[in-house]
Structure 1
């Protein structure tokens, strides 16, 4: 069992396989995105070794993230090999653009659930937000995922007050009518941005629930998940409506997860810079799972108790989500 210094059981990791994207999302608002040199990124074999070490230490759930994970050449090797481990869940976060190509193979590899980022249903606004993306790509990806038969498909939307908050009812109705779950996420202060004021754009989960209550009859769900989402349900629909609230409803006390970036940094908290360099261990001791597991266990003693986000336009964490892992 993997336990941090506060007694929290760590049974979930987010493993980022690349920092590259085919189009950006609301999280990555930099004027220019920069990417790591290839040699700094973990190889596919190293990614599998990290996943295997965590599972041997007691982790039960692995989520593959990026950047956009499905643009990594040969990425199915990671899914195929991790899918053979004794996991409760192997899941994926994606922007959906590559799902028409990969959905069936992912399901065959053992992926049960996927999260698809979708911040707007307006094609023009979607192109504006992503700079190069086409909404039709994502909608085609959602259809491919539905056809592949994943147990659950969830949409994720980062909500900004003056950018897409007015679209929350439409996004919700789309999800409900398609039989999809959806989670609305408060913006996190990651990376330096110039496109908006974080304080002015912040939209709390409570505000969104009040907005949705004008359109749907909402009731909180009793069942708790191991993740940060708190779920509600609308009358006459089976889908869940989630709210991820790192600012307004801090969930650090029950945190059960860590992240591994594409360059092998074990990030112990999304809202802090505490990290351990697993790439250095992997390359100093190739094939030595024991040394890797020791490094992971030692790092757990430095996982902070909580983060302290605020709405300042000065970045509290310099890295963007493409290097953190979504």
Structure 2
């Protein structure tokens, strides 16, 4: 895609990205860039029904060839440019990022970089947990600061049905405990789909109360076009909070950082907290400070985007770091995405016709 300036919120067309020395580049709606989510592989060993359904992504699905993936050096260059624009957190995703050979080496490269404030960026990793028991200590040693593990059910039969490959929940729970033992803070993400795992909410809350693990419930989202999304499948976060509050009383908690996706709730008895991510019923586009880098180097400025900006082509055409940084600043400086806020204004037909990247492709 070309980097054509677009009108800002005041109607004026920007000819260059606005930059504040202490914060980096602001987009067209005055949102800073703080979080870069990096997909390191398009492969996954699960076929979760809401992300990578098996009937679409079968075992013979054609994944990217190795030469099509960004190299670790290319990822490092893009990350360095992003940090110069204000990014403070780097999150490694997939697919399943632990399937990328040498992932610890990439973590070490990224941990050696510095933010505008001169400190190590926060490095997080999102995983399905299948290889976490094997990798946890190496990830911690390389510089990962925390991990987020997808956990959609404690019921083994349901968990296996949702991951659609017969992977047992006990092995994921073992990986979670291994990460904790290695000194990694752990967050747990549960995507709630009505009629599938909405009956698991209280069991999950009870299991992880008082453990130090932060459990977050995510509204089922209309990312991509393969998961058969319907508004009828969405369990609103307000309903989730009410369900838990009726058993374990909750109080609202302040966000820990600007642009945080989850609304936080503390157990009144001091047994920890939960979070809810409400991108369908209570959109947070106004504070969104995240960009997403796909496995083969396309930069997306919204989870619901239909097109990305090809940074791999720029890198492999011989562009130096200054040109890469300028391109990134231009992309972010003209960004005006706010799909979740306007979703309700679209008819079902318009939503269906609008192409969107797949969750498995961009890593959430």
Asked if TM exceeds 0.5, the reply is: yes
> How far apart, in 1, do the equivalents of 2:160 and 2:353 lie?
25
- 1:279 is displaced (CA, Å) by 0.8
- 1:41 is displaced (CA, Å) by 1.6
- 1:274 is displaced (CA, Å) by 4.4
Q: Which of structure 1's runs of 4+ aligned residues deviate more than 6 A?
A: none
Query: What corresponds to 2:56 in structure 1?
Result: 32
Correspondences of 1:111-260 after superposition (within 5 Å): 111-132=144-165, 133-150=167-184, 152-193=185-226, 198-226=230-258, 227-260=260-293
SS where residue 108 of structure 1 aligns?
Answer: helix
SS where residue 214 of structure 1 aligns?
Answer: helix
SS where residue 156 of structure 1 aligns?
Answer: strand
Query: What corresponds to 1:41 in structure 2?
Result: 69
- For residue 3 of structure 1, the aligned residue among 14, 26, 30 is 26
CA contact (8 A) 1:191 1:318 kept: yes
Q: Which moved more, 1:153-162 or 1:174-183?
A: 174-183
Cα distance per residue 1:91-127 (max 9 Å; x no partner): 1111111111111111112211111000011111111
> How far apart, in 2, do the equivalents of 1:148 and 1:117 lie?
18
Query: What corresponds to 1:283 in structure 2?
Result: 316
SS where residue 213 of structure 1 aligns?
Answer: helix
Gaps of 5+ in 1: none
What CA RMSD, in Å, does the superposition of the two structures yield over aligned residues? 1.9
Tell me the TM-score normalized by structure 1.
0.93
> How far apart, in 2, do the equivalents of 1:318 and 1:271 lie?
6
> How far apart, in 1, do the equivalents of 2:355 and 2:54 lie?
13
- 1:268 is displaced (CA, Å) by 0.4
> How far apart, in 2, do the equivalents of 1:290 and 1:115 lie?
33
- Please say if 1:71 is aligned against 2:109: no
In structure 2, relative to structure 1, the CA distance for the partners of 1:234 and 1:68 (3 Å cut) is same
Cα distance per residue 1:175-228 (max 9 Å; x no partner): 21432001111111122336x552221111011111112211010002443321
> How far apart, in 1, do the equivalents of 2:257 and 2:29 lie?
20
> How far apart, in 1, do the equivalents of 2:82 and 2:45 lie?
29
Tell me the TM-score normalized by structure 2.
0.84
> How far apart, in 1, do the equivalents of 2:217 and 2:354 lie?
22
Gaps of 5+ in 2: 1-23, 115-119
- 1:315 is displaced (CA, Å) by 6.8
CA contact (8 A) 2:129 2:150 kept: yes
- Please say if 1:105 is aligned against 2:143: no
Q: Which moved more, 1:308-317 or 1:126-135?
A: 308-317
Q: Which moved more, 1:266-275 or 1:252-261?
A: 266-275
Cα distance per residue 1:15-38 (max 9 Å; x no partner): 111111111333223513142233
> How far apart, in 1, do the equivalents of 2:101 and 2:220 lie?
30
Figure out how many residues of one structure are paired with residues of the other and give that number.
323
Cα distance per residue 1:47-71 (max 9 Å; x no partner): 1221122112221111111111010
In structure 2, relative to structure 1, the CA distance for the partners of 1:317 and 1:186 (3 Å cut) is farther
